[in-house]
A and B are shown apart, each in its own frame.
Chain A
Amino acid sequence: MSMRTPLKSVRHLGSAREGAGHFVLQRMTGVANAVLAVFLVWLVAKLAGADYAAARALLRNPFVSLGLLLLILSGVMHMRLGMQVIIEDYIHGEGAKLAVLALNTFFAILIGVASVFAILKLSFGA
């Protein structure tokens, strides 16, 4: 066991330049999500009982597309940061942690890109 503090091994390697970035981005996307959740509830209420033609007509509205894009992008950023904290709290093996953190990022990107693709396809004429 090394008697050196962890600080010793990172000193002079340069700062990660992140600071409170994780904390702040989690709050910023949280504020956005709280507003966009109201939009989501409104959208789901409008879609209640709608058939395909009605649903597509609503999803092609540019304002609805915009709201959905913002919701998805803010949502996946927020959930990736949140899950990252959970993983770091509960998974202690260095290799397993790195692997699951990578999966977390891949999942957020997959959800984000798949949703954005679907929204744009509907918007531009599916």
Chain B
Amino acid sequence: MAEPKADRSRAERPLSPHLQVYRPLINMVMSIIHRITGVALYFGTILLTWWLTSAAVGPDYFNYVSSIFGSLPGRIVLFGYTWALMHHMLGGLRHFVWDTGRGFDLVTIDRLSWGTLIGSALLTAAIWYSRLTTTGVAL
């Protein structure tokens, strides 16, 4: 009669193809980066809240927190945060285009995807370049 044979039959069964069988396409990569930058920004809000709180606490604590953000590791994190914000924002705008039902042909998908990547790099560079010219401190 029917014996439990779930394990045996499971091993024999072919698996449906998953991500690893496909050559990565730019829109696939931008899709997962949109999610990853979203998670980064989610936890990155701790930094904004921490900084606002430090300003509300007083000058000593504000200067302490500012010195952490101003250190090299701090600036690298903020640089990454800038890029994540710009990338996620442009990715969101791309989704707004798709939400209207437009831009689903392959050429446009590729252009929007590359545009997200290149645009986020350019915006991040522009923001940090303006910081360099106002404060004289690079990255």
**Residues of A with Cβ closer than 8 Å to B?**
27, 30-31, 33-34, 37, 40-41, 45, 48-49, 52-53, 55-56, 59, 68, 72, 75-76, 79, 82-83, 86, 111, 114-115, 117-119, 121-122, 126
Report the Cα distance A41→B39, complex, angstroms: 20
Closest B residue to A34 using CB positions: B89
What residues make up the interface of B, taking CB atoms closer than 8 Å to A?
A: 35, 38-39, 41-42, 45-46, 48-49, 52-53, 55-59, 62-63, 85, 89, 92-93, 95-96, 99, 127, 130-131, 134-135, 137
Decide if A118 touches B134 in the complex (CB within 8 Å).
no
Could you tell me the distance in whole angstroms from the C-beta of A34 to the nearest C-beta in chain B?
A: 5
In the complex, what distance in Å separates the CA atom of A117 from the CA atom of B52?
Answer: 9
CB distance from A10 to the nearest CB of B (A): 28
Kindly identify which residue among A37, A79, A121 contacts B89, using a CB–CB cutoff of 8 Å: A37
List of B residues within 8 angstroms of A122 by Cβ: 52, 55-56
9 A-B pairs besides A37-B85, A118-B49 with CB distance below 8 A are A45-B130, A45-B131, A52-B62, A79-B41, A115-B45, A117-B53, A118-B53, A119-B52, A121-B56
30 contacts between A and B (CB under 8 A): A27-B96, A30-B92, A31-B96, A34-B92, A37-B85, A45-B127, A45-B130, A45-B131, A48-B134, A48-B135, A49-B137, A52-B55, A52-B59, A55-B55, A55-B62, A68-B52, A75-B45, A79-B38, A79-B41, A83-B38, A83-B39, A83-B42, A111-B46, A114-B49, A114-B53, A118-B49, A118-B52, A118-B53, A126-B55, A126-B56
Check if B135 sits within 8 Å of A49, measured CB to CB: yes
Query: Nearest-CB distance from B101 to chain A (Å)?
Result: 14
A114 CB contacts on chain B under 8 angstroms: 49, 52-53
Contact partners of A111 in chain B: CB under 8 A: 45-46, 49
CB nearest neighbor in A for B45: A111
Chain B residues with CB below 8 A from A59, complex form = 52, 55
Residue of A nearest to B85 (CB): A37
B110 CB, nearest partner CB in chain A, Å: 23
Does B53 lie within 8 Å of A48, measured CB to CB? no
- Cβ–Cβ contact B59 & A41, under 8 A: no
Q: Across the interface, name the chain B residue whose C-beta is closest to A59.
A: B55
Q: Is the CB of A52 within 8 A of B63?
A: yes
